[in-house]
Amino acid sequence: MPGQGDRQALTDVEEGSDIPNDAETTDPSSLEEHIKEASYKKMSKTNQVQEEAESNTLEEEEEEDPNTVLKERQLYESLADLKEAAIRYARKRKFAVVTLRSGERQLVMTCKHSGTYRAATKKKSDEIEDTETEAAEYQEDDGDDSSSGGKRSRSADTADSIANKRKRLRLSQKIKCPFQIRAKPASDGQWIVYTINDIHNHEMASDIKAYSQHRKVSDDVRRRILELYRMGASAKMISHYLEELGITNVFTKDISNIRTNYLRKRKRKLEALEKVKIEEGTNEDINNTTASQCLDAQNSLGEPYEDLEPLDNDIVIELHEFYQRYVKKPSKKS
């Protein structure tokens, strides 16, 4: 006769399962088999319902936002549109894509984690020379260490340290992820996707900000950031301004990099103009027209941020109001 636990198991399985009506008279081993079979059917049905629900949810999401859908045989007006679509597709699914090959006949895009790490090593002779040079700089300060009783000099330890640093391997994000998108030109300048291998060998990112590809801002936002820097705002202050605009996909360091890149490009322009001026000034056969043009170009750059395109008055007023409001905001310490 079945025990109390077996009777409880019978009540737990779903109604309509293939348990015989005379289950109470069935021997315990047979009854246990029927219970396991009914439980397995219930579990299978539950999993099937869950899979259908997840599939329906994904289909609903794709229907709500068609811009994040990427399918085979899908046409795009240009190569740039296709790349932007691939980035949106990756952002939706929390990974990043990179361009492996791009030409007139084919476009191949992969996951950021595809491929394998390849160290960019220097020549053995160059590495030895650099190590000896850096070690020699320390040896000049050591002087004669003959009185050290045979102890190793600081320069020798430094040389070993430098050599060991060169052998360190950086952790690579490339783990042979098989994800791939292939596209080719179609008629009238369009591009068509003909292969999508939508398989990854890694977990998706918990935060999409882990990839710099998804932390980029538009030219308009970049211009506002530089204008706030011109007013004297800090990166943290600008971060609060972006949050008010609903932009939460950037780090403070990304904001600092925008200013750094602007100042670096500006410096290169000034250096290039100065170089042209010097070259023209040393050539007596050429008049000073080019040099004077360079001087005018240098003057047009003016002070930092003065060479930027002007913003609309409404935006400037908005930025000033935010800056004044943030500056007058009492600090948490007080």
Q: What is the DSSP string of 174-190?
A: ------EEEEEE-GGG-
SS3 195: strand
Q: What is the mean pLDDT of the chain?
A: 74
Distance of CA 306 to the CA centre of its chain: 31
Clarify whether residues 52 and 71 are in a common domain: no
pLDDT per residue over 92-104, tens digit each? Answer: 899 999 999 998 8
Has residue 260 got a pLDDT over 50? yes
Distance CA 200, CA 211 (A): 16
Is 26 contained in some domain? yes
Clarify whether residues 149 and 205 are in a common domain: no
Has residue 299 got a pLDDT over 90? no
Q: What average pLDDT score do residues 227-235 get?
A: 93
Which range among 81-90, 165-174, 279-288 shows the weakest confidence by mean pLDDT? 279-288
Is 332 contained in some domain? no
Clarify whether residues 275 and 206 are in a common domain: no
Q: Among 182, 210, 238, which residue terminates a domain?
A: 210
Is 265 contained in some domain? yes
Range of the domain at 130: 124-167
Residue 162 pairs in a beta bridge with: none
Clarify whether residues 82 and 181 are in a common domain: yes
Clarify whether residues 74 and 195 are in a common domain: yes
Tokens of 187: 């008629």
Is 334 contained in some domain? no
Closest by Cα among 124, 119, 204 to 163 = 124
The pTM (predicted TM-score) of the whole model is: 0.54
Clarify whether residues 92 and 191 are in a common domain: yes
pLDDT per residue over 164-185, tens digit each? Answer: 555 555 567 888 999 999 999 9
Clarify whether residues 275 and 187 are in a common domain: no
Is 28 contained in some domain? yes
Residue 182 pairs in a beta bridge with: 108, 195
The listed range with the strongest mean pLDDT (14-28, 57-71, 224-238) is 224-238
Distance CA 108, CA 194 (A): 11
Distance CA 83, CA 75 (A): 12
Q: How confident is the model at residue 13 (pLDDT cuts 50, 70, 90)?
A: very low
Is 306 contained in some domain? yes
The total domain count for the chain is 4
Measure CA of the first residue to CA of the last residue in the chain; give whole Å. Answer: 77
- Answer for the pair 34, 18: CB distance below 8 angstroms, yes or no: yes
Clarify whether residues 153 and 179 are in a common domain: no
Clarify whether residues 222 and 188 are in a common domain: no
Higher pLDDT, 181 or 137: 181
Is 72 contained in some domain? yes
pLDDT per residue over 142-171, tens digit each? Answer: 444 444 444 555 555 555 565 555 555 556
**Cβ-defined contacts of 21-24 (< 8 Å, 24+):** none
Clarify whether residues 312 and 323 are in a common domain: yes
Clarify whether residues 242 and 299 are in a common domain: yes
Is 36 contained in some domain? yes
Closest by Cα among 75, 82, 76, 127 to 102 = 82
Helix (H) or strand (E) holding 172, with range, is none
Q: How confident is the model at residue 324 (pLDDT cuts 50, 70, 90)?
A: very high
Higher pLDDT, 6 or 68: 68
Task: Say which residues have a Cβ less than 8 Å from residue 30's Cβ, sequence separation at least 6.
Answer: none
Clarify whether residues 194 and 308 are in a common domain: no
Closest by Cα among 16, 20, 40, 42 to 30 = 20
